[in-house]
Amino acid sequence: MTPRLYVETSALLRALLEGDFGLRKAIEAQAVTTSALTFVEAARALARARSDGRLNSAMVRTQQRWLSAFERSCDVLLLDEAVLRRAREQFPVEPVRTLDAIHLASILDLDQQVGGITVASCDERVRRNASALGFQLQPLTA
């Protein structure tokens, strides 16, 4: 069985906006799954980065091309009723923000489907919950 990496938005944004090329290579080198939510969050983050001057138009286009290539290369989980229902339930380490709960519910759904999930996240709330739920984490430190 091929190990499966779930990429949560914070890890993708660290690779995309903060230039963490080690994390980018790790993401690109594995069988990757993420939520459809990730691409909405990433697009909004690129728009904010352009608006607040962290990225110019050319840099945004470059990052949008990488994001599009990433989206084509990975499996995308839809926000279906089961994921949304699970996101409403309790998680091991509360409080959990809404979008984080959707990611955690997506991770649990993916684990039920294929098992052996590693979670790529740089968000401490997501990391604490993923660890408490028994998932391996990447990067090893946030």
**How many Å apart are CA 108 and CA 59, to the nearest integer?**
35
CB 110 within 8 A of CB 94: no
Specify the pLDDT at position 63: 95
pLDDT in tens, 47-80: 999 999 999 999 999 999 999 999 999 999 999 9
pLDDT in tens, 111-121: 999 999 999 99
CB 20 within 8 A of CB 134: no
Furthest C-alpha separation in the chain: 44
Q: Which residue has the higher pLDDT, 35 or 29?
A: 35
pLDDT(1) > 60: no
The whole-chain average pLDDT of the chain stands at: 94
Residue 2 binned pLDDT confidence (cut-offs 50, 70, 90):
low
Q: Which residues pair with 6 in a beta bridge?
A: 33, 119
3-class DSSP assignment, residue 137: strand
Specify the pLDDT at position 29: 79
Q: Which amino acid belongs to residue 71?
A: E
Residue 43 binned pLDDT confidence (cut-offs 50, 70, 90):
very high
Q: Which residues contact 126 (CB under 8 A, 6 or more apart)?
A: 8, 10, 100, 103, 104, 119
Structural domain spans, the chain: 4-138
- The domain made up of 4-138 is a member of CATH 3.40.50.1010: yes
pLDDT(127) > 60: yes
pLDDT(139) > 90: no
